């Protein structure tokens, strides 16, 4: 621990700058920069959270916030409702997709001078407090008045849960928040009523979160007494966590999907199931983050997330990528090198360290030293056209086009049932041409011919997400998902399971 004199030295420096420096300086920002610099010298994952960001970070990890339950776009000079959360305050009050919010408690929330970042201050507040909204609905001449009661709005971490086959369910988790296990449990119960006995657990793109929630989910798949994970702190103290006997999927055929963005708590789950021979891991090598952070308040509303331990999988693997003698920039650049060295398209390009070789109880070889290597590798399509299409899907361009497209006939689309939508709505050539014209407004060129059918699927899935929910969206996309198709081929006995390099 630093000596008291060194701590006082830092305090004196700040005081000298505050009182004697020739120009006026914001010493708060100097402190923030100093803290950030100190943490960056420790490891890539110890971070500083300024007080103006702490609420948003806390809400994401807690899994809810207090608000009115809408998703919105900033359209021209107004706030347009994309979707209301089913059963949420705005839905119950009668607000509809396509409505423009004009006033909140007589405060204008439109116009060129309105800063959309202020919207939270008007729409969020204490639980059960009320906000009076004036809304412009395209089909009505006059503004409509709504009194909306603010409530806790869930930030769901389970994106989707549906059946891939009559006995094979699918659950996608986007992060591990405080509510993840309860969401997962609810999803499992719902799938069980549909005949589910086996499971695909999708952790692609899941950057982690609460270790406790990941452990509880891993426990569902492991037998009583099987090691899930162990951590080791700076004093060498080891804390082991074992499975209990309450797992509901201990006899299930399980597939865990990972990719290069699956990190931390996701790697705990994948590593625990792989090391205990409880699942087949499918996809691409995971991120490689094996450090445990603890959030610590600094007394002024800000906080740090400080690395306090390393975690290890049951066979003793550390999944953490090397970061010694590397700047944060170099560390993250090393991750991007996976695109350049061919690892995303060829399993033979994955660099494996033979000195970090481990063996599972059933004799399978697994490797430490930087991410979870899948049992079954599935290459990423990195062609320019496909990458561009994926970028548009995830970057919001498709969603914005779809919102404008739906806005032209809201009364029709808002009244469709899911069954009617699937049967009646078709993505035709006229819609594809309209999308190409839309892209040109953003100085983007995209010729649709090579990926026409996939683009049609993406467009209709994006419509479904705005009209219904992410579950329908994910279910539609799953039909053309290469990793899911690989899983189904293995499940149906068409391909062998293990392709571990």
Catalytic residues: 264, 275, 289
**Gap between the Cα atoms of 429 and 456, Å rounded:** 9
The pairing of strands 280-283 and 168-173 is unpaired
**Residue 60 parent element (H or E):** helix 51-62
Q: Are the C-beta atoms of 340 and 463 separated by less than 8 Å?
A: no
Residue count of the chain, please give it: 501
Sign of CA dihedral 371, 375, 381, 382: positive
Residue from 72, 70, 73 nearest 84 by CA: 70
CA dist., res. 244 & res. 42, Å (int):
35
Give the residues across from 299 on adjacent strands. Answer: none
DSSP 354: G
Q: What is the CA radius of gyration of the chain?
A: 25
Q: Are 306 and 358 in contact (CB under 8 A)?
A: no
The sign of the torsion formed by the CA atoms of 9, 11, 14, 20 equals negative
Give the rounded distance of the alpha carbon of 417 from its chain centre.
28
Count of other CB atoms within 10 angstroms of residue 363: 7
Which of 142, 213, 203, 151 lies closest to 179 in space, CA to CA?
A: 213
Closest CA to 267 of 214, 305, 221: 214
DSSP assignment, residue 230?
A: E
Q: How far apart are CA 71 and CA 472, in angstroms?
A: 17
Residues 6+ apart with CB under 8 A from 137: 96, 98, 99, 100, 144
**Cα 171 to Cα 266, 267, 340, 367, 415, distances in angstroms:** 14, 16, 31, 26, 28
């Amino acid at each position: 621990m630093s000596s008291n004199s060194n701590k006082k030295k830092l305090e004196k420096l700040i005081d000298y700058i505050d009182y004697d420096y020739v120009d006026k300086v914001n010493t708060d920002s100097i402190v923030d920069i100093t803290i950030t610099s100190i943490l960056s010298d420790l490891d890539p994952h110890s971070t500083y959270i300024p007080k103006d960001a702490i609420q948003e970070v806390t809400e994401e990890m807690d899994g809810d916030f207090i608000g009115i339950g809408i998703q919105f776009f900033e359209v021209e000079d107004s706030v347009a409702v994309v979707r209301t959360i089913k059963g949420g305050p705005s839905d119950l009050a009668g607000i509809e997709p396509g409505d423009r919010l004009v006033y909140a408690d007589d405060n204008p929330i439109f116009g060129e001078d309105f800063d959309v970042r202020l919207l939270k201050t008007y729409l969020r507040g204490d639980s059960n407090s009320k906000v009076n909204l004036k809304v412009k609905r395209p089909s009505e001449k006059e503004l409509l008045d709504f009194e909306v009661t603010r409530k806790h709005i869930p930030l769901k971490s389970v994106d989707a849960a549906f059946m891939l086959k009559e006995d094979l369910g699918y659950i996608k988790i986007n992060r591990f928040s405080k509510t993840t296990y309860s969401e997962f449990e609810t999803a499992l119960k719902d799938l069980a009523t549909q005949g589910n006995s086996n499971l695909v657990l999708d952790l692609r793109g899941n950057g982690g979160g609460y270790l406790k929630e990941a452990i509880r989910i891993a426990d569902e798949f492991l037998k009583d007494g099987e090691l899930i994970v162990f951590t080791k702190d700076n004093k060498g103290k080891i804390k082991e966590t074992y499975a209990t006997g309450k797992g509901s999927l201990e006899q299930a055929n399980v597939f865990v999907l990972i990719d290069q963005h699956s990190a931390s708590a996701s790697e705990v789950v994948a590593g625990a199931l792989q090391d205990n021979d409880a699942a087949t891991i499918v996809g691409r090598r995971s991120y490689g983050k094996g450090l445990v952070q603890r959030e610590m308040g600094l007394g002024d509303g800000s906080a740090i997330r400080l690395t306090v331990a390393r975690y290890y999988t049951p066979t003793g693997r550390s999944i953490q990528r090397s970061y010694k003698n590397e700047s944060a920039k170099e560390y993250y650049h090393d991750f991007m090198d996976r695109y350049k060295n061919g690892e995303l398209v060829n399993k033979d390009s994955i660099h494996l360290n033979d000195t970090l070789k481990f063996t599972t109880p059933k004799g399978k070889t697994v490797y430490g030293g930087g991410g979870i290597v899948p049992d079954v590798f599935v290459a990423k399509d990195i062609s320019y056209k496909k990458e561009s299409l994926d970028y548009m899907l995830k970057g919001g361009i498709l969603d914005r086009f779809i919102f404008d497209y739906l806005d032209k006939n809201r009364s029709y689309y808002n009244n469709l049932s899911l069954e009617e939508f699937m049967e009646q709505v078709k993505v035709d050539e006229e819609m594809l041409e309209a999308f190409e014209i839309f892209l040109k407004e953003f100085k983007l060129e995209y010729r649709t011919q090579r990926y026409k059918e996939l683009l049609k699927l993406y467009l209709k899935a994006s419509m479904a997400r705005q009209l219904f929910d992410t579950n329908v969206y994910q279910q539609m996309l799953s039909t053309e998902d290469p990793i899911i198709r690989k899983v189904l081929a293995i499940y149906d006995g068409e391909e062998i399971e293990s392709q571990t390099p």
